[in-house]
Structure 1
Amino acid sequence: MENDEILENIGTLVEEERALRLRTGGLLDEERARLAELEVRLDQCWDLLRQRRAKAEYGEDPDTAALRPPSEVEGYRS
């Protein structure tokens, strides 16, 4: 997946996340689950994009970057 595709995917996920967060009257259980899923998927996409950019910056092949599992990307500290 190319950087532009990852960014496009991030944009789509962010739009869905915003729509859920803007819902009035609270979210249904499945909507809360979807929101949590979106948050994880966004973290994975941002991580993949950072990996690709770092590899390119240091002369490595960005196509060797891999999507990391949720357990890994959700364990990062700010």
Structure 2
Amino acid sequence: MDDQSIHQRITELVEQEKQLRQALQDGELSGEEEHARLRRAEQSLDQLWDLLRQRQALREAGKDPDEASERPVGEVETYQQ
């Protein structure tokens, strides 16, 4: 996945988050369902941001950014901010 595709997917997930919050507010979605779906979207966003950081680090090291790979949610979620 190239940088443009990653950014496009991030934009889609941010829009999905907005739609989920609106659906909850409109009573179209239970709080539990909204929470579960938001959590999945947030996890995917974390993975995508991590992938972008990996690609940038590889570029800066003079390597091929396509060597970057999506890491598992459990690994990305445990990073210290």
User: Is it true that 1:18 corresponds to 2:18 in the alignment?
Assistant: yes
1:25 CA displacement: 5.9
1:74 CA displacement: 0.4
- Provide runs of 4+ in structure 1 moved above 3 Å: none
Equivalent residue, structure 2, for 1:40: 43
Residues 1-78 of structure 1: matches in 2 within 5 Å?
1-22=1-22, 23-24=24-25, 27-28=29-30, 29-78=32-81
RMSD (Å) for aligned C-alpha atoms: 1.5
Instruction: Point out where structure 2 has 5 or more consecutive residues left out of the alignment.
Output: none
Query: Could you state the TM-score of these two structures normalised by the residue count of structure 2?
Result: 0.86
Question: Number of matched residues?
Answer: 78
Percent same amino acid among aligned pairs?
51
**Residue 76 of structure 1 aligns to a residue in which SS?**
coil
**Greater length-normalized contact order (CA 8 Å, ≥ 6 residues apart):** 1
1:24 CA displacement: 1.3
Distance 1:56 1:3 in 2: 12
- Which has more helix, going by share of residues? 2
| Deviation readout 1:6-64 (Å, 9 max, x if unpaired) | 00000000100122234416752222211100010000000001100110111011011
Return the letter of the residue paired with 1:8: Q
Query: Could you state the TM-score of these two structures normalised by the residue count of structure 1?
Result: 0.90
Instruction: Point out where structure 1 has 5 or more consecutive residues left out of the alignment.
Output: none
Does the 8 Å CA contact 2:43/2:77 hold for their aligned counterparts? yes
